[in-house]
Amino acid sequence: MNKINQLFSERHDRKLLSLYFCAGCPTLDLTGAVITTLQRRGVSMIEVGIPFSDPLADGPVIEGAGTVALRNGMTLDLLFSQLRAVKDDVRIPLVLMGYLNVIMHYGVEPFFARCVECGVSGCIIPDLPFQDYLDVVKPVADRYDIRVIMMITPETSEERIRFIDDHTDGFIYMVSSAGITGAQQSFGDAKLAYFERIDAMQLRNPRMIGFGISNRQTLESARAHAAGVIIGSKFVTLLNETGDPERAMDELFNALKQ
């Protein structure tokens, strides 16, 4: 069974935690150490960012991390090599997050073949048009048993959400706001109403809420309406500040208690 599906079939406590970091930042060779540290510290799933020069959905923190990673010399081939080196030690799902241009340049078939070789269970492609997903990407991903995770936002129509739910597997990435990534101090009434509306739809796929989770209030609000949360900008900031995944995790857990 795909590790993503296995995770959600085993855990129903709404306390899943997925962390995002950008491969190659703050240093080129830290990827394996970040992954093994996060797994040891109890993270449920890890999103590994593929740096790109024009990340449309990313806020300044993650965009900056991508810039550093590219300057450090990170490439998709190098990332696959780093993932392969720790494959036998990784038990939790790994999800690659990258933009369509990078994947198309690499080749859709070679990309998913390398994902399998390196222990990757899924991918998120924020700028992938849904029709291209159905016609081009999904048939190849299905052949390699890789889950392609789609995003929804407060502006996504119910019709589109149900269509996504019917044609994807794994989980749905529920973006807390229609804006770019970045930490927030709280979720207002409009966002909470959005969470409740999607919760009431009783979708087939489990949902993970991301964008803006950085403290106890945002963590608990998201957990009340989904299977778990995705934290990106806050962890990336802490990893950049400390240069040490262990210390970054200590500081993240402290922040989530406040």
Give pLDDT tens digits for 84-98: 999 999 999 999 999
Between residues 54 and 174, the one the model is more confident about: 174
Residue 2 placed within a domain: no
Q: pLDDT, tens digit, for every residue of 154-188? A: 999 999 999 999 999 999 999 987 544 444 455 77
Question: What pLDDT shows up at residue 190?
Answer: 87
Question: What pLDDT shows up at residue 181?
Answer: 47
CA–CA separation, 3 vs 60, rounded Å?
31
Residue 220 has pLDDT above 50, yes or no: yes
Residue 5 placed within a domain: no
Question: What pLDDT shows up at residue 178?
Answer: 58
Residue 35 placed within a domain: yes
Mean pLDDT of the chain: 93
Question: CATH number of the domain that 28 lies in?
Answer: 3.20.20.70
Residue 239 placed within a domain: yes
Strands 94-97 vs 122-124: parallel, antiparallel or unpaired? parallel
Residue 1 placed within a domain: no
Residue 227 has pLDDT above 90, yes or no: yes
Residue 122 has pLDDT above 90, yes or no: yes
Residue 204 placed within a domain: yes
* Active-site choice (13, 29, 47, 189): 47
Residue 160 placed within a domain: yes
Question: What pLDDT shows up at residue 187?
Answer: 76
Is 47 an annotated catalytic residue? yes
Question: What pLDDT shows up at residue 58?
Answer: 62
CB 196 within 8 A of CB 176: no
CA–CA separation, 33 vs 55, rounded Å?
25
* Secondary structure of 90-118 in HEC code, one letter for each residue: CCCCEEEECCHHHHHHHCHHHHHHHHHHC
Residue 6 placed within a domain: no
Number of domains within the chain: 1
Is 77 an annotated catalytic residue? no
Question: What pLDDT shows up at residue 54?
Answer: 73
Residue 153 has pLDDT above 50, yes or no: yes
Question: pLDDT tier at 191 (50, 70, 90 boundaries)?
Answer: confident
Structural domain span for residue 234: 15-257
Question: What pLDDT shows up at residue 182?
Answer: 43
Q: pLDDT, tens digit, for every residue of 6-41? A: 999 999 888 999 999 999 999 999 999 999 999 999
* Active-site choice (58, 63, 165, 169): 58
Question: pLDDT tier at 239 (50, 70, 90 boundaries)?
Answer: very high
